[in-house]
Structure 1
């Protein structure tokens, strides 16, 4: 269900960050060029890249990044034993991550993300960071399995603000989510337009964030409060 024109180019304003964000994208997500938030995240960050695959164990680009001696690499992934950016002091975060860190993100549904991590032995060795999410996603056009699930771009937005609080980043994030919000607006307009062949007859009802959750564990990104 896509509108014929969802160009958000005029709203793209890439941020300069010290942290490099590496988006490990499942092939299924890579096909979602118009609605995939991993793509929008990459456009909004100058210091980022997308690497597509499932098993990254022997991926040359990933291993080249991991082999760099002048920077540390981390995996953003939920877990109670991870380094939680939300509860650590600034000095702790600075000491743990250092400057110019590489932060890997897994972009895929929850089952796909688990499979990607299970297969990728090099990723399993990385130190993991996480955060406590207390906001509801703006991604209201997607069903979610649970409350407090965030899209890829919202997760990066949260991390950037936490790193700013610790003086590891200096970028202004106030407009970071605008392309994401515009994409959602385009999608909603399409759903509400009765002239479109995929017009949703129930779309004229109020749409509120997180009113519907999937019973299974599929989602776009896997960060929720544990």
Structure 2
């Protein structure tokens, strides 16, 4: 008897299903965000054209994130000024032209390796045609670097000073960590000694954060900040714990 009642209940639920699928929210054709939270109006009116090209090596999982910042870079810079290659290891046959870029003496990788040079200490007369960035979480970026010998052989540069991230709706591993967009902005600002990149390209990121907070998101501190103030509820990985302990000892 109970089985018959369960079958009847299931049938009733199916009968009451709407005949038409639920109405989908309209998406912006550029940023692919719902129209009510689209940040395209905050992009530069005239797309910026840097002297060097930005090359993003993007982990496949990053493309699925709804709150990623790489599209702000590709849409804020002029056509062909920012190229995205997707994968976990580079280059492969599908990455047309990437081998030449990574082998070029005029290409540098923005990555904080032990041999990385502070960007502000680069000779002023050095010609940089391609600035390569790894787009993904820190573990994903490290995996891409470790799996790609060609990246390890490149000239490495780093941002020495800590910058306050505007990406306040996403938890960063440590203080001073930046989103892909912000990293590119800081690098271009230093290379070209031009504040235009900050003034123009941060606007869509600030708009995105404002939209999300108005819809219920909260601001985030870094894992380092929360651990230091004993407000981080999750277990911390061994490597991050060691990094944070070393920083504590140096303070």
Q: Tell me the TM-score normalised to structure 2 length.
A: 0.68
Name which of 172, 175, 195 aligns with 1:147: 175
Cα deviation, 1:120-175, whole Å, max 9, x if unaligned, reads 2222221111111322211111112211111111111111111123xxxx672212
Name which of 66, 69, 75 aligns with 1:43: 75
Residue 52 of structure 1 is matched in structure 2 by: 86
The answer to whether residue 157 in structure 2 is matched with residue 125 in structure 1 is no
Q: Name the Cα RMSD after superposition.
A: 2.6
Q: What are structure 2's unaligned runs of at least 5 residues?
A: 1-32, 241-246
Q: Tell me the TM-score normalised to structure 1 length.
A: 0.74
Q: How many residues align?
A: 191
Structure 1 residue 37 displacement after superposition: 1.0
Q: Secondary structure at the match of 1:123?
A: helix
Q: Mark the structure with the bigger radius of gyration.
A: 2
The answer to whether residue 42 in structure 2 is matched with residue 25 in structure 1 is no
Q: Which has the higher contact order (CA 8 A, sep 6+)?
A: 1
**Closer, same or farther: CA 128–147 of 1 in aligned 2, 3 Å:** same
Cα deviation, 1:154-212, whole Å, max 9, x if unaligned, reads 111111111123xxxx67221221011111111111116xxxxxxxxxx5xxx465454
The answer as to whether partners of 2:56 and 2:134 remain within 8 angstroms in 1 is: yes
Q: Which runs of 4+ in 1 moved over 3 A?
A: 207-218
